[in-house]
Amino acid sequence: MGILTGVASPGNPGVARQAETLRINAMARWILHVDMDAFYAAVEQHDHPELRGKPVIVAGLGPRGVVATASYEARAFGVHSAMPTAQARRLCPHGVFLPPRFARYEEVAEQVRTILRRYSPLVEPLSLDEAFVDLTGTEHLHGPPERVAHEIHRRIPAETGLSCAVGLGPNKLIAKLASDAAKPGGLRIVRPDEVLDFLSPLPVEDLWGVGPKTAARLHEKGIHTVAELRSISLPLLQSWFGPKGGEQLWRLSRGLDDDPVVPARPAKSISHETTYPQDLFDPEEIKAELRRLSLLVVDRLQAEGLLAQTVQIKVRFADFTTVTRQTHLPEPTDHPLLLTAEVVGLWTRVPLPAGLGIRLLGVGVAELCPAEFRALPLFTDDRLAQAIREIRQKHGPHALNFLGPGQG
């Protein structure tokens, strides 16, 4: 049966299946995923050879810091990312604890992305240490994707001195799970006809989007592996997790994912937040911090030539309860005084539980648009905004201390 003969219909399942196969082949993709091994720690060990072979832990070093990356030597002590630094110190007292150097990691990440772009223009960074590459249709330039995967896997360590895991599959979901399976330092190729067997034994929490809460709910129902998840009907999954959530799980369990590889997604929000070493109680100090965070956000807005029309604050109390307040502005702006005034206004809408200190404050903006879309100033004095911008550019973000405590 070389060609499609007949009409796909429920009464003719063989033909329907054949049509489905043809449709899938017509859309077949090859997606590669690169995941740098223990990236931040590996960069530190690369830059400081005396640290090689030692447990290196890149982490926030303050009293409330957490681990960003632990080297494999440190993982042997039970240290892993997102663990409180204090706990990591107890588990691994002789570990080398270092604060992150993001500017340096960004350099190396760009070096890796440059290697990847030799093989396809469609390179989508997922974070500093991960990226997707769409190799579909690059065969005539670079050869079969399987060979390209081997080449990339060899070339990244050769050119950066850092090891990586590489996964290759028919979509992002499978490529990422393949690189997970190859960690550390390996290469895993999953062909389309191998997808279901590859997925079946994996625990449901390995799936993209299944976190602790969803996993716990699935476990309660006796579902632990992807094969078990796949045996649940779509309507039942939807009754448990809602129409979208249910369909998402149904598709994930079958390895279905048509999310495209997109090289540059414009940011949808910008935010800054700080967890304080000691809880804040003083209202003036809190307001001063909100203004400081606001100006950090304004700096980024202006650096990227953007305006924002939504402002949000986030407050986390000592008991970890978190509240947010947001407001929609009449027009988009990057005006420092306007935005700080909105932020302080939002703060007055936060109910304060008696006796609870504040451990985190955050300020964010959303509904971003390019600054060329700026509305003509009617009532705001734009010369003032311009003057503030120039002073802060010339003398740094702390130059205008009229925004300090007790003076706002």
Partner DNA sequence: TCTGGGGTCCTAGGACCC
Show the site string, 99-128: x = touches DNA by CB under 7 A, - = not: ---------------------------xxx
Give the nearer residue to DNA in terms of CB position, either 142 or 186: 186
Stretch that binds DNA, among 6-14, 149-157, 203-211, 336-344 (CB under 7 A): 203-211
130 given a catalytic annotation: yes
Closest CA to 119 of 129, 109, 133: 133
The only residue of 209, 283, 345, 370 in contact with DNA, by rule CB under 7 A: 209
Which residues inside 221-280 make contact with DNA, applying CB under 7 A? Answer: 242-245, 265, 267-275
Catalytic member of 124, 130, 289, 342: 130
Maximal C-alpha separation, the chain: 82
CB 269 within 8 A of CB 365: yes
Interaction of residue 63 with DNA, rule CB under 7 A: yes
- The rounded Cα 269 to chain-centroid distance in angstroms is 13
Q: Quote the CA–CA distance of 136 and 147 in Å, as a whole number.
A: 13
**Least distance between DNA and beta carbon 245 (Å):** 5
Q: Which residues contact 381 (CB under 8 A, 6 or more apart)?
A: none
- Applying CB under 7 A, which of residues 16, 323, 337, 344 lies at the interface with DNA? 323
Which amino acid is present at 388?
A: I
Least spacing, CB of residue 335 vs DNA, in Å: 18
CB of 26 to DNA, least distance (A): 26
Residue 37: CB minimum distance to DNA, A: 12
Among the listed residues 34, 79, 202, 210, the single contact to DNA using CB under 7 A: 210
What size, in residues, is the chain? 408
With respect to DNA, which residue has the nearer C-beta, 81 or 225? 81
DSSP 199-236: HTTSBGGGSTT--HHHHHHHHHTT--BHHHHHTS-HHH
CB nearer DNA, residue 3 or residue 82? 82
Q: Between 18 and 275, name the residue whose CB sits nearer to DNA.
A: 275
The alpha carbon of 354 is separated from its chain's Cα centroid by a whole number of angstroms, namely 35
- 326 is an interface residue for DNA by CB under 7 A: yes
- d(CA 279, CA 320) in angstroms, rounded, equals 11
Span 127-146, contacts to DNA by CB under 7 A: 127-130
Query: Mind giving me the DSSP string for 14-46?
Result: HHHHHHHHHHHHHT---EEEEEETTHHHHHHHH
Contact at 8 Å (CB) between 331 and 376? Answer: no
CB contact set of 246 (below 8 Å; sequence gap of 6+): 234, 235, 236, 237, 238, 239, 240
**Neighbour-count burial of 348, counting CB atoms closer than 10 A to its CB (0-12 exposed, 13-18 middle, 19+ buried):** exposed
Using the contact rule CB under 7 A, the part of the chain among 9-17, 108-116, 184-192, 210-218 near DNA is 210-218
CB of 120 or CB of 312, closer to DNA: 312
Residues in contact with DNA, counted by CB under 7 A, come to a total of 59
* Binding to DNA in span 341-400, by CB under 7 A: 349, 359-360, 362, 364, 366
Backbone phi and psi for residue 64, each to the nearest 5 degrees, phi listed first: -115, 25
User: Which residue type sits at 8?
Assistant: A
Catalytic residues: 130
Residues near DNA (CB under 7 A):
60, 63-66, 68, 81-82, 84, 86-87, 89-90, 126-130, 176, 207-215, 242-245, 265, 267-275, 300, 310, 319-320, 322-328, 349, 359-360, 362, 364, 366
